[in-house]
Structure 1
Amino acid sequence: MSKFFYNISSGNPKKLFPAIFWATFESVVRLIPAVIAFYGINELFESFRDHRMLDIQLFVVLGVSSLIWFVLQMYISKITYDKEYLAAYDVSAEGRTELANHLRKLSLGFLDRRDPGDLTTMMLGDYTQLESAISHMIPQAVSAGILLFLAFISLLVINWQLTLGIYALLPVVLLIVLISNRLMKKLGGRHIDAKVESASRLQEYLQGIKEIKAYSLGGEKFSRIEEAFDRLRIESIRLEGILGPVVMTTISILRVGLPVLIFIGGKLLIDGQIDESALLIFIVVASRIYDPFTTLMMNYTEMRYAIISADRIMDIRNQSEMSGNDELSEDFTISFKNVSFSYNNEQVLHNINMVIRPKTMTALVGPSGSGKSTIVKLISRFYDVQDGKIFIGSKNLVEVNPDNLYQHISMVFQDVYLFKDTILNNIRVGNQSASFEEVIEAAKNAQCHDFIMRLPDGYNTMVGEGGSTLSGGEKQRISIARALLKKTEIILLDEATAALDLENESAVQKAITNLVKDRTVIVIAHRLNTIVNADKIIVLNKGRILSSGTHSELYSECDLYKNLVNMQTESKNWKFSRNGN
């Protein structure tokens, strides 16, 4: 039970306690009209039986009590409503924030194994389910259980036969619910899978809209999104169609308890074992205590669905974060010692040994798939090594606090992502406490100040999501400004000019020259002419270090490097031709 409350509250069970307390209090207060009705009806019975006048004073008291109850009920209902919705939205808002922060601390390897649509559905859909459960179901369910228990104990003291009559069919209902749990878990899981698939296909459709248009995949020809939505429709119908009758059956069975009570009570009354007042008490109470349980069963499907969503969320929350408590020292020598690494059991690095000295430029070159990007990802701890060790100074990288590591590393890659925010704030990502003057200085050194000032609102110009309103060269220069503003000791650079035109390449190269001054630079080189002056060039092939040295040394000694240089030289003279010559 503790696990249930922990999961459904997204790890904050204390948030639920005030809502549960007030919901229970409200349920108890709702029994007051039944008590008032009992005294009124009992007075009618006794006055008729004793052939006397009605006690008008009693009815005045009961009337005043009803008015007091009405005001009290309104007040308590208002408090309960506030507590329930406050708990729901607090849990949801804090849970989403905590989950997002937790995802940031997980390894990239874990995130790569998860469908982005799954995480999107979890952040939005699953937490919406929790909101609904906490605001409409969980407090009411707990209060219903407490009320049923208290009523059972109280009525048992008065008459055990009538009490068993009221609760006779409750075990049957609970058994049906217990049996249907497995079915609900299966159907709910399939429904969530269908929602995740739909979200993924929709995301794919929107992101790939250019390709869909270019290759005439629109309309009926792009069937993947249609199939995903159709599957979601089928799973939704199946979920409601199968579990709906189960819920209605349990409610019907539960309601049979009242006729059973009347039957048993009538027999006991005829036999003289109880009087009319006792039977009346049970009938009035029975008419009230079934209500919260009926409401609970009406929401049973949604609550079980919320439990599945909660389990999915906590499955992510329970994933181990990247470990490490050490902090880097002033020695930024990077050392690989017998490092091997695999993606999905496919080894991509084999026994890598190398040393990168501080304030030097080291270039990684080699054919596609040779392991260049993997080495950079390991240095930045996007992944942790599986075999061997990586050191920065004397610190084993897996023992370094990731946040501390990122304070000393800046990354500039080909695929630049800009947030939907102002250019100013996008540059400040590198140092959020930087002054406006510092931002301008970084932008000037990154060769982007001039084009920013030509924009309608200058540095306050809003950027489209992902940087969609800027060109590739402009985004690259803003990303370099970020790195400059961060002022870190280590720069990881995935050749930022590889996909740029000549004009933008020249500007970005100047920006990079400013960026790498007096820093330790590891660059993935695609255009080999940009790294001829590197202090060290490491040639990789099939996940192994083939050779290392300067440009001139490698050109004369390493056949692979020489071939790569020659191919790029020849490609500069390549041109389109109609006849193939």
Structure 2
Amino acid sequence: MKRFLYNITGGNPKALLEPCLVSLATGFCQIVPSLLIFAVFDTIYLAYARGQAMHMEKLWGICALLAGWMLVEYAARARAHEKTAMTAYHLSAIGRTELAEHLRKLPLGFFGRRDPATLTTMLLNDYSNVETTVSFYVPQLASAVILPVVVFLIMLLFSPQMALAMFLPLPLCFGIMWLSSGLQKKISGRHVRAREDCAGRLQEYLLGMREIKSHNLSGERFEALREAFARLKRESLRMEIMVVPIVLIAIAALRSGLTLMLLIGTFLLVGGELSLPIFLLFLLLGMRVVEPLSVALVHYAELRYTALSADRIMEIRQEPPLPGTGQAPCGGDIRFDRVSFAYRHTDVLQEVSFLAPAGRVTALVGPSGSGKSTITRLIARFWDVRQGTISLAGHDLATCDPESILARISMVFQDVYLFRDSIGNNIAVGRKNATRREVEEAAKKACCHDFIAALPQGYDTPVGEGGCTLSGGEKQRISIARALLKDAPIILLDEATASLDPENEIYVQRAINALVANKTVLIIAHRLRTIRRADWIVVLDHGRVIEQGTHEQLLAETGLYQHLWTLQGRSAGWSMRPA
């Protein structure tokens, strides 16, 4: 239970103290009306038994107190609801933000091991489960456990026999729930996995809609999605069929205590060992105890399910971020010294060594899959190397804070992602406090001011998720404007013009020329003509550096670079002809 409370509160279980206390206070408020009703009945019964006149002033006083207590109970319920809801939503909002921030600091290898749909489900559904647990289940469960103990002690003062009869089945009830906890955990785990698989398949279906339409695949023929829904249905039914009866059996065992108390009470009443008012008091208190305990048993089953959500959240939050506390230098030479790297068990780089001088342009070329993009991501420290060192101005990047490294780098990818926000805010991503004038200046240098100004809302024009409302060339130029605004000393360009048409390529090349001025630049390009003026060219093949030099030096050798240059020269005149 300690671990569960720690997990659902994100490591702050003390936050549950006040909601539990106000819920407990509300429970005690609900007992007072039963005691007042007992007082009314006792007054009437005593007057009748003794043949005395009715004490009307006392009765009216109790009735007035009962009416006033309804307001107190309402206030207590309102306060309990407000406090539990505020605590739940506060913890959930902070938890989601902290989890998102933690995910940002994890190496990209972590995301390669995780299905994105799982993380989305965790941020949405799992935290919704936690909200419900914190706002309802835990406070009510705490009240349902403590309140019966107090009521039991009160009952012992009046009739130990009836008190014991009332609570005799309670151990059996808890024993049923405890013995079935393993089964509940197993079934809940299967249901959670089915739900995750269903979310993943649905996301895959939506993202692949273009391929589904182009290949004329109807929804009925998308078997993976259909099977995922069918499996979720089976697991949902299994959970209802196997878990709910266990809870109902436990509730039946609990309610048997009320029946047993009535039988014992009737026997004592007939035998003269118990007065009628005390018998009524036990009935009122018994009902007040059974109902919240029955609710608590239902909530306990829900808690078993929610515990899986809390465990999954804390499992992610305990994933270690990349180490390093030192500040990265503001610029300098980038040196790879015998660097090896692998994605899981697949070797990508092997003994890679080269120098990218400060203030110069270094190009990385080679066949697809040779490790070029991996090199740029290792410089940005999206992962740590398996062997060797990467240094910036002589400082090992593995000892530097990843945040400080990224602050020194601007990256322009081939596949640009724009957030679902305005164009101006997308450009300002690299510098939060940038003014509108600075954003526009960066856009002008990136050759995208004119098309932005022509849009209906200019820089306030919203773009779709991923930038789907803009063309590839427009997104590329906005990405370069981001990098220009950030003004980092190191520029990493990964195939920034590979998929552009000639007109857009001219604009993007102009933007890149403005971006790389006086910077340390690493550029990846398949079109060798775009990097012929690079200061240094590194040729990779199968994860190894096989050639280095200037364009002229590499052409003078009979190596891979010369071979690629010759092939691209031949393909430049290629055209499609009918057979």
Shift of 1:268: 4.8
Which structure 2 residues correspond to residues 490-505 of structure 1 after superposition, within 5 A? Answer: 490-505=490-505
Q: Is the 1:326–1:395 Cα contact (8 Å) retained in structure 2?
A: no
SS in 2 for 1:30: helix
Match of 1:416 in 2: 416
**2: distance between equivalents of 1:40 and 1:505?**
90
Distance 1:451 1:264, change over 3 A: same
Shift of 1:230: 1.8
Deviation larger for 560-569 or 6-15: 6-15
Q: Is the 2:555–2:561 Cα contact (8 Å) retained in structure 1?
A: yes
Deviation larger for 433-442 or 329-338: 329-338
Match of 1:386 in 2: 386
Q: Which amino acid aligns with 1:55?
A: H
Match of 1:367 in 2: 367
Deviation larger for 541-550 or 7-16: 7-16
User: For 1:255-280, what per-residue CA distance to the aligned partner results, in whole angstroms no more than 9, with x for missing partners?
Assistant: 00012123334445566665555544
Q: Is the 2:330–2:489 Cα contact (8 Å) retained in structure 1?
A: no
Q: Which amino acid aligns with 2:174?
A: L
* 1:329 aligns to 2:325 (yes or no): no
SS in 2 for 1:224: helix
Q: Which amino acid aligns with 1:56?
A: M
**1: distance between equivalents of 2:237 and 2:97?**
33
**2: distance between equivalents of 1:283 and 1:213?**
67
Shift of 1:38: 1.9
* 1:318 aligns to 2:318 (yes or no): yes
Match of 2:227 in 1: 227
Shift of 1:507: 1.0
Report the TM-score when normalising by structure 2: 0.96
Match of 2:182 in 1: 182
Q: Is the 2:328–2:397 Cα contact (8 Å) retained in structure 1?
A: no
SS in 2 for 1:299: helix
Match of 1:28 in 2: 28
SS in 1 for 2:180: helix
Match of 2:376 in 1: 376
**1: distance between equivalents of 2:60 and 2:167?**
35
Q: Is the 2:427–2:482 Cα contact (8 Å) retained in structure 1?
A: yes
**2: distance between equivalents of 1:487 and 1:549?**
28
* 1:562 aligns to 2:558 (yes or no): no
SS in 2 for 1:364: strand
SS in 2 for 1:16: helix
Deviation larger for 283-292 or 489-498: 283-292
Shift of 1:146: 1.5
Which structure 2 residues correspond to residues 501-540 of structure 1 after superposition, within 5 A? Answer: 501-540=501-540
Q: Which amino acid aligns with 1:450?
A: D
Match of 2:350 in 1: 350
Aligned residues: 579
**1: distance between equivalents of 2:228 and 2:437?**
51
**1: distance between equivalents of 2:85 and 2:339?**
52
**1: distance between equivalents of 2:372 and 2:312?**
35
Report the TM-score when normalising by structure 1: 0.96
SS in 2 for 1:417: coil
Shift of 1:24: 0.6
Unpaired segments ≥5 residues, structure 2: none
Match of 2:403 in 1: 403
Q: Which amino acid aligns with 1:455?
A: L
User: For 1:136-173, what per-residue CA distance to the aligned partner results, in whole angstroms no more than 9, with x for missing partners?
Assistant: 22211111111122223443455443332221111111
Q: Which amino acid aligns with 1:222?
A: F
Match of 1:114 in 2: 114
Match of 2:166 in 1: 166
**2: distance between equivalents of 1:462 and 1:304?**
43
Match of 1:142 in 2: 142
Deviation larger for 289-298 or 414-423: 289-298
Deviation larger for 44-53 or 21-30: 44-53
Match of 1:430 in 2: 430
Q: Which amino acid aligns with 2:222?
A: F
SS in 2 for 1:340: strand
User: For 1:200-231, what per-residue CA distance to the aligned partner results, in whole angstroms no more than 9, with x for missing partners?
Assistant: 12211221111111111123222222222222
Q: Which amino acid aligns with 2:349?
A: L
SS in 2 for 1:354: strand
**2: distance between equivalents of 1:479 and 1:41?**
80
Q: Is the 1:350–1:544 Cα contact (8 Å) retained in structure 2?
A: yes
Match of 1:239 in 2: 239
Match of 1:203 in 2: 203
Match of 1:133 in 2: 133
**2: distance between equivalents of 1:459 and 1:280?**
74
Shift of 1:9: 2.0
**1: distance between equivalents of 2:145 and 2:394?**
59
* 1:94 aligns to 2:117 (yes or no): no
Determine what percentage of the aligned residue pairs are the same residue: 44
Q: Which amino acid aligns with 1:388?
A: G
Match of 2:53 in 1: 53
Q: Is the 2:188–2:239 Cα contact (8 Å) retained in structure 1?
A: yes
User: For 1:346-399, what per-residue CA distance to the aligned partner results, in whole angstroms no more than 9, with x for missing partners?
Assistant: 221112222221111111111111111111111111111122222112322122
**1: distance between equivalents of 2:296 and 2:229?**
30
SS in 2 for 1:385: coil
**1: distance between equivalents of 2:567 and 2:179?**
68
Match of 1:253 in 2: 253
**2: distance between equivalents of 1:558 and 1:52?**
123
Q: Which amino acid aligns with 2:63?
A: G
Match of 1:574 in 2: 574
Q: Which amino acid aligns with 2:177?
A: V
Match of 1:478 in 2: 478
**1: distance between equivalents of 2:219 and 2:347?**
41
